[in-house]
Amino acid sequence: MRLHTVLVALVLTVGGAAPARADARSDAKKQVEFGIAVAQRGLWREAIYRWERATQIDPSYAAAYNNLAVAYEHEGEFDKARTAYEKAIELEPDNALVKQNYELFKEINDRTTRKDGQ
């Protein structure tokens, strides 16, 4: 009887977690899509707000971190951009588009910090 109760509780927990994750991703995705729409119109601060919200809603959403990194880069916030790119790559190490963005970012970032003298 006790085992039965435990099993029911387990099924309810596992079954409930998946839809919750799906809801979080769906909500985060709405923020990401709206962010893209506003970024395409040059409203980068609003886009940052949307993508930050998306990462809060779903911290495992690589696309949100990638987009956030692009927006930070556009705003000249290079430290934040690097952190966001690295998080996106950590979440999706095989995503070629994120890696391509990161390589382009690093090229510019290295150029700005290169010094050989004083």
Partner 1 sequence: MTARLARTVSSLLAAAVAVSCTNYFEIPIETPIRPKLDVSAFQRVLVAGFISGGTEDVDANLETVRLLRSQLRTKSELRVIDADVLPLMEVATEPRNGNGSDSAENSGEAQPAPGPIKDEKDLEPFEHVFANVEYWKRIGEEYQSPLIVTGTVMFMPHQRSGFVQREQEVYDSFGRRRVVPVRTYMERKGFILKPKFIFIDGRTGTTLYSETFREEILYNANNSTPALSSYFELMDRLIPSFLSTLSSQKIRGTRVLLK
State the helix-helix crossing angle for 62-74 and 44-57, rounded to 10 degrees. 150
Nearest distance from residue 77's CB to partner 1, in Å?
10
Amino acid at 12: L
Nearest distance from residue 4's CB to partner 1, in Å?
44
Nearest distance from residue 26's CB to partner 1, in Å?
12
Using the structure block, give the residue that is written with the tokens 């506003």: 38
CB 71 within 8 A of CB 43: no
48 binds partner 1 (CB under 8 A): no
For residues 85 and 89, give the distance between their C-alpha atoms in angstroms, rounded to a whole number: 6
- Binding residues vs partner 1 (CB under 8 A): 29, 32-34, 36-41, 62-63, 66-67, 70, 73-76, 95, 97-98, 100-101, 104-105, 108, 111-112, 114-118
